[in-house]
Amino acid sequence: MARRYLRPTAFVDTPVGHDGQVARLAGGLCFHAGYELIEVDDDGRRTAVRLVPVAEADALPDEVQPIRARLAAARPPLALGDRTIRFDQPRAMAILNATPDSFSDGGSFGGDAEAAAAAGVAAASAGAAIVDVGGESTRPGADPVWEGDELARVVPVVERLARAGVAVSVDTRKAAVMEAALAAGAGIVNDVSALRYDPRAVALVARAACPVIVMHAGDGRDLHARTLGPDPLLAVYDWLEARIAALEAAGVPRARLMIDPGIGFGKTLAGNLALVNGLALLHGLGCPIVLGASRKRMIGALSNEAPVDHRLGGSLALALKGAEQGVQLLRVHDVRETVQALHVWRGLRDQALTPVPA
């Protein structure tokens, strides 16, 4: 039996003057005039792709109407203590690596929790809505980190940031680190293994009732294993859909889930590009989208092997590509520059939403 997917397309700057012809995407500032209806056979091969105007969307097949509703529905805000983070526009999520060996900024703080926390506070002051603290590198070939070492790296930084009023997420695969970081003041768990690495993790986040970011990767332990077939976009969609269903069944509701396509994890350059080009499809899962493409290897591959510290331009290009497709959280190293780019993007959007006087 054919399976169908629905991808928003034909984006326009404004709905003004286009009543009934455009739809709002995920309650944000992006609007589109059409859908790409994709059909695949039992082997996962695309058998048909056609464009359907929004004005004719009521005639779409019944099976995709729930997807259409999820594409349009506003994402509820995150309530993190005294902080509320809304998803009506793209926001920056700062990467703070308390590690000696992360691919971009590992070792920056030399194990100094005060220095790491100060950097997190500076990122929040520069406009980051969330600071994501991690104590284990997930670069290819990185050695596993003992739980005790990861706790020692992460918890003191989280405590200091939380006391400073910063919204914090903890980037970890380990339930003990999740639990300790949440107790220290973190409000979000960001698990690159999608809660598959540690068998205790699902029950922990269900009890904690905290928001969770689940990322696509090849395997819970070998994050860079290549498991995707010839259609990476649909494969990642299917995988995330199945993972959401499994977590819902385990007591973690969809309303507390955010999804990350896992750029650079077990994907080829072509696969990464296909995912970024097709990001809007993932809104059909009904969760906020997190895009982590900052300084990734794909930028170097497209720019004469530019080293990590020379990938700002590519990082901004990918961030804005995500914003144009309604991505809610952009996980980045270069907060100030990304926030500035988003301010310009928002200014352009606000101008387009202002009716031109008759």
Cite the active site residues.
296, 331
Q: How far is CA 132 from the centre of its chain?
A: 12
Q: Closest Cα partner for 296 from 317, 281, 278, 277?
A: 317
**DSSP letter for each residue of 151-190:** HHHHHHHHHHHHHTT--EEEE-S-HHHHHHHHHHT--EEE
- HSE-CB for 117 with a 13 A CA cutoff: 18
Q: How many residues does the chain have?
A: 358
DSSP 142: P
128 is written with which tokens?
């980051």
Cβ–Cβ under 8 Å, residues 348 and 309: no
Encoded tokens for 219? 């395997």
> Terminus-to-terminus CA distance in the chain, angstroms?
52
